[in-house]
Chain A
Amino acid sequence: MKTTESRGSRGSPVSRRKVITQLGLASALVVPALLGLSGPVFAADPAPSATPAPVPQTANVEVMILHATNVAGKPTQIDPKVDEGKPATPVENLPSHKLKGPGLNSYNNYLFKDRKKLLLAKGTPQHVVLPNGRTLEVSVVNVVQDRNERRVTVAASISPPSGDRYMKLIEFTAGVHQSVFVGGIAFPTGSLVVALTVEPFST
């Protein structure tokens, strides 16, 4: 009787091992979850490199010059040359479509005047002579690698109608295929519109 009781109170060694195994498994699963840790399997991103590669401080910028006028009694006309070299789709991204947007749709006739593709290096501005005789100065302020996209900060200045000092128009930061239209530059019968677009980077 005593032997039986003693044997029964100890329990089965197999069951004991089973319980310990289950407890160990549960702890291994629960503790990291409760601590908010993600195991190596769930690592979101590889560890960033200690020193990222330097970003070349150069950029390709397209300067497109348009002559905007208003033609009474006619529908909007846009020179098809403005879309040359641009992806046909999506339509919303075509310059001709953007020219119908706010600020630009105050004119209903756009005539293509010139297009310059500039390879700009930081600290070295380039100049484009506008049809009105004034000069547009374009320079790269900075080029950064923002995760998977390279972004360029561009500064644009224009020479005043009188005098030789450049007046800063804008400074903008954009990615590839993103544009800034600068309009309202005085020109006979209308105004000049300058489209500055960041082009794909040279490899």
Chain B
Amino acid sequence: MSLDKERMIALMQYADGELDGEENEAARAALISSLESDPDARAFLDEMERLGDVTRAAEPLALPGGFKLDSFDIADAVMGMVEEHEQKSAVTTPITTAITSSGVSSLQIAREKRRRAVVIVATGLALAAGIALVLRSRDFTDEKDMKSSTATNLGKPVDSVPALATGVPAIPSSSEAALAAANAANAFNPGGDKQEDRSGVEVNMSDSPQTGVSVFYLPGSDGTSASAVVWIDESSGGNK
């Protein structure tokens, strides 16, 4: 077959009926007349007509989504599939998923996460505050109990017990060992200005002229009613 491009296009136009109008009558007449002397052109035209017969005799082209094309058209097929896909997405896809895939969804998700974080933080703060208040109230209760207990045991307030502030060794509540401890801890101090009993008796010897003086502090049974002993040794020449 030796047909040039223009010749083939003209034959195809003729086969497709594009040269049926009156305005193309001259071109159609010239083409028809040329077919008598051009066996290749006649053969090409026969092929084109046979192809057209096959296409027209075939079933309409079935496309997804129920589309049917009487003639094969790629553009129509692609557009049909796109429309079908969009319709399915709009009907069946949840909003959040659709939003997620759109990119705008990240803002909503971030806000949702932020809201949850705020709730968690607020809950944590409330829990921490509750714990702090419980501990605080417990400290307050302990402090109050200690004060009342001390006041009960010693018969006086905590801050008036000198030993608690001065760190004097504790005196046992009773027994000879307690008295010995009291003796050792509170042995006479000639140069001392003021000697205080941890249980409340405070002896001030600063203005006393005696030289041979001993001071002892005696604990009570449970710290109550403590006593002090001031021993003046007049036999040694102090006040004779």
Contact = CB atoms under 8 A, between A and B. Distances in A.
Interface of A: 1, 4-5, 8-9, 11, 15-16, 18-19, 22-23, 25-27, 29-30, 33-34, 38, 42, 44, 90-93, 98, 100-104, 146-149, 151, 158, 160-161, 167-186, 191
A180 B201 contact: yes
Interface string B51-66: 0000000000000000
Interface of B: 95-96, 98-99, 102, 104-105, 107-108, 111-112, 115, 118-119, 122-123, 125-126, 128-130, 132-133, 136-137, 140, 143-144, 151, 155-157, 160, 173-174, 179-180, 182-183, 199-205, 207-210, 214, 216, 218-222, 224-235, 239-240
B146 to A, nearest CB: 13
Interface centre among B151, B157, B202, B214 (most CB of A within 10 A): B202
Given A29-B130, A101-B229, A191 B216 contact: no
Given A5-B104, A102-B180, A184 B136 contact: no
Contact of B129 (A30, A171, A177, A183): A30
A182 B140 CA distance: 42
Contacts of A44: 140, 143-144
Nearest to A171: B204
SS class, residues of chain A in contact with chain B = mixed
30 contacts: A9-B107, A11-B111, A19-B122, A22-B122, A22-B123, A23-B118, A29-B126, A29-B133, A30-B129, A34-B132, A38-B136, A101-B182, A101-B227, A102-B229, A103-B231, A104-B229, A146-B156, A149-B155, A149-B160, A151-B160, A167-B208, A167-B210, A169-B210, A171-B205, A171-B207, A172-B228, A174-B200, A176-B155, A180-B227, A184-B233
A30 B112 contact: no
Nearest to B219: A92
B239 A181 contact: no
B216 to A, nearest CB: 4
B157 A93 contact: no
Interface centre among B95, B112, B125, B132 (most CB of A within 10 A): B125
A39 to B, nearest CB: 9
B118 A186 contact: no
Given A42-B137, A168-B208, A22 B227 contact: no
Contacts, number: 201
B72 to A, nearest CB: 34
A184 to B, nearest CB: 4
B125 A186 contact: no
A19 B234 CA distance: 84
Given A33-B129, A92-B221, A180-B227, A160 B239 contact: yes
B229 A11 contact: no
A4 B133 CA distance: 45
Given A29-B129, A171-B207, A178-B201, A42 B140 contact: yes
B163 to A, nearest CB: 15
A62 B223 CA distance: 21
A101 B126 contact: no
Contacts of B227: 98, 101, 178-181
Contact of A23 (B122, B220, B222, B225): B122
B128 A30 contact: yes
A69 B215 CA distance: 20
Given A147-B157, A148-B157, A180-B228, A26 B122 contact: yes
